[in-house]
Amino acid sequence: MADKASPPVVRIMDYGKYKYEAAQKVKESRRNAAHVSVKEMKYRPKIGEADFETKTKKVAKFLGEGHKVKITIMFRGRETQHPELGRKILDEVAEAVEEVGKVETYPRLDGRNMTMVLGPDRKSGSKKRSRSDEGTARPPAPAPQADSAPAATPPAPESPPASTDTTPTAAEQQQ
């Protein structure tokens, strides 16, 4: 409606069609929005080496897929008296996955749990792909030359022709 015009101009429209188009725009904007889910991995302070490696590989996989990962250390009993053990494990996890993720929320103690949130590192996605391709990729082919003529090689120094004569030359006789 152009209410400032004289006389005022109004467009007559179908309200049902208007509502439908507005709903379609909202649906499209939701479809284009980035969906980031949060995965959670739980550790214990007395976790074994193999279990630690397995869980940490899974964390790296989640980060590589673009998910955030909440890492929880669960303390039980007297373990709550030693939060430094949990902090040490969280630091080791963060160090192990630093190529694919970065710390978003630093470790903090919430009751009997210590939590930390890791987020995917957007810059490392291309690095990760290039590293995985390194073993299978062939070395790049040499770049073609601008002119089609082959590159000139410098002439080899001329050597005297080999003779079958065994008589000494004048220079050899003087010595």
* CATH code at position 115: 3.30.110.10
Flag whether 53 is in a domain.
yes
The first and second tokens of residue 89, run together, are 């494990």
Per the CB < 8 A criterion, the answer to whether 62 and 39 are in contact is yes
Q: pLDDT value at position 174?
A: 64
pLDDT category at 162 given cuts 50, 70, 90 is low
pLDDT of residue 7: 81
- Mean pLDDT is lowest, of 72-76, 98-102, 148-152, for 148-152
Residue 95 lies in a domain: yes
106: containing domain? 36-128
Residue 37 reports pLDDT greater than 70: yes
> Is residue 31 included in any domain, yes or no?
no
Q: State how many domains the chain has.
A: 1
The whole-angstrom distance between residue 41's C-alpha and the CA centroid of its chain comes to: 20
Residue at 88 is within a domain? yes
Residue 9 pLDDT level (bands cut at 50, 70, 90): confident
pLDDT at 136: 42
DSSP 33: S
**pLDDT at 152 > cutoff 70:** no
Answer whether residue 138 shows pLDDT above 50.
Answer: no
pLDDT at 127: 44
**Helix ranges restricted to H, 33-161:** 49-64, 83-96, 124-134
Looking at residue 11, its pLDDT comes to: 81
Residue 121 pLDDT exceeds 90: no
Q: Is residue 140 part of a domain?
A: no
Is residue 76's pLDDT more than 60? yes
User: Is the confidence at residue 115, as pLDDT, over 80?
Assistant: yes
- What is the structure's pLDDT at 130? 40
Instruction: Please report whether residue 135 resides in a domain.
Output: no
